[in-house]
């Protein structure tokens, strides 16, 4: 059995404030015995208009957000999956200085081990370009974010983890491929809106867990971030049978659960759905 923690936050547009909350909640998780802690999407900054400026400081591991998480992992001797950090996308070599100034951002999920060393990076692939019909109205993530294109898994003390972010959850083929790559646990750090979350959050998380017989760890943002932006909360941990084994409906806090990989492997042996797929794709 391995203990993991999903962190739920109500991040704002002030990095320093958000990092103070992050430190407090990670401390709480470690005090409860967590070996792996997963932060939500945009944990350090939830403000689209400030992402580009913040991203230019995070191009190297010495960036304030990246160095903070690395130091926290080292200090607390815990693995941390840092939801998403804005990192400036590299401009084309032929880009002008003006074009470089308006370059887009990668939403990068960094994985740090208990020595504070970076072990993996995943850049969000699917971007949230939708009309929700809430107070915010339209979301056009691609106006600021540049998509990634590479699937990532990483071996950790609690098992092999597949990385995804928020809107990725609506694309089951991504999760199938992560399972093909050996993922037994898949993380979904999110800032799911209140409206779409109420409609689909539980259903999608449970479906991805059931389809792939894996644990789903989904730390979400919660509550009001501004006058017109609100996140759903309900950070949760779902087991390979689709049962919710940890959930925090609202507010900031920690969701703790113990993962049993022997149970997961037993289920996969009894119901080998990956091998039964008629339309099987193997990513080389």
Q: Which residue range(s) make up the domain with 60?
A: 2-276
Are 186 and 178 in contact, with CB atoms under 8 Å apart? yes
Q: How many CA atoms does the CB half-sphere of 108 hold within 13 Å?
A: 26
Rounded CA-CA distance 198/240 in Å is: 22
Domain assignment present for 283: no
Domain assignment present for 207: yes
Given this model, what pLDDT does residue 96 score?
45
Residues catalogued as catalytic = 41, 124, 166
Q: Which residue has the tokens 């967590």?
A: 34
Given this model, what pLDDT does residue 99 score?
47
Which tokens belong to 48? 């689209």
Domain assignment present for 172: yes
Domain assignment present for 282: no
Given this model, what pLDDT does residue 134 score?
74
Domain assignment present for 213: yes
Domain assignment present for 91: yes
Query: What total number of domains does the chain contain?
Result: 1
* Max intra-chain CA distance, the chain: 58
Phi/psi of residue 82, nearest 5 degrees = -90, 80
The DSSP-derived string for 249-281 is -SSSEEEEEEE-HHHHHHHHHHS-HHHH-SS--
Domain assignment present for 212: yes
Rounded CA-CA distance 178/116 in Å is: 25
pLDDT tens digits, 101-140: 557 899 999 999 999 999 999 999 999 878 877 766 677 8
Length of the chain, in residues: 284
Are 84 and 46 in contact, with CB atoms under 8 Å apart? no
CA 75 to chain centre: 22
CATH number at residue 267: 3.60.110.10
The DSSP-derived string for 78-123 is -EEEEEEEEEEPPPPTT--HHHHHT--EEEEEEEE-TTS-EEEEEE
Given this model, what pLDDT does residue 154 score?
98
CA torsion, points 248, 254, 255, 258, in degrees to nearest 10? Answer: -170
Collapsing DSSP to helix, strand or coil, 75 comes out as helix
Are 29 and 7 in contact, with CB atoms under 8 Å apart? yes
Given this model, what pLDDT does residue 284 score?
46
Rounded CA-CA distance 214/216 in Å is: 6
Non-local (6+) Cβ contacts of 101 within 8 A are none
Domain assignment present for 284: no
Look up residue 243 and give its DSSP letter.
-
Q: Which residues of the chain fall below pLDDT 70?
A: 91-102, 135-137, 280-284
pTM of the predicted protein model: 0.92
Are 10 and 222 in contact, with CB atoms under 8 Å apart? yes
Rounded CA-CA distance 160/135 in Å is: 39
């Amino acid at each position: 059995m391995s203990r993991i923690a999903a962190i739920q936050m109500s991040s704002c547009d002030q990095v320093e404030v958000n990092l103070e909350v992050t430190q407090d909640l990670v401390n709480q998780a470690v005090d409860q015995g967590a070996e792996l802690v997963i932060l939500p999407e945009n944990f350090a900054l939830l403000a689209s208009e400030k992402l580009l400026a913040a991203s230019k400081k995070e191009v190297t591991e010495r960036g304030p957000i990246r160095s903070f998480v690395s130091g926290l992992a080292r200090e607390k001797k815990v693995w941390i999956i840092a939801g998403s950090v804005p990192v400036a996308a590299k401009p084309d070599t032929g880009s002008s200085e003006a074009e470089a100034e308006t370059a887009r951002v990668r939403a990068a999920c960094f994985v740090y081990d208990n020595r504070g060393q970076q072990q993996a990076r995943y850049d969000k692939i699917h971007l949230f370009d939708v009309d929700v019909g809430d107070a915010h109205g339209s979301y056009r993530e691609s106006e600021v974010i540049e998509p990634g294109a590479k699937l990532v898994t990483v071996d950790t003390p609690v098992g092999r983890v597949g990385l995804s972010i928020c809107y990725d959850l609506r694309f089951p083929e991504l999760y199938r491929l992560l399972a093909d790559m050996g993922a037994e646990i898949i993380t979904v750090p999110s800032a799911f809106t209140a409206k779409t979350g109420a409609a689909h959050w539980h259903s999608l998380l449970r479906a991805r867990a059931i389809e792939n017989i894996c644990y789903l760890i989904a730390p979400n943002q919660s509550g009001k971030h501004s006058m017109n932006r609100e996140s759903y909360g309900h950070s949760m941990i779902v087991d390979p049978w689709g049962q919710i084994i940890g959930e925090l409906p609202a507010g900031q806090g920690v969701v703790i659960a113990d993962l049993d990989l022997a149970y997961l492997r037993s289920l996969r042996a009894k119901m080998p759905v990956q091998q039964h797929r008629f339309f099987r794709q193997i990513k080389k």
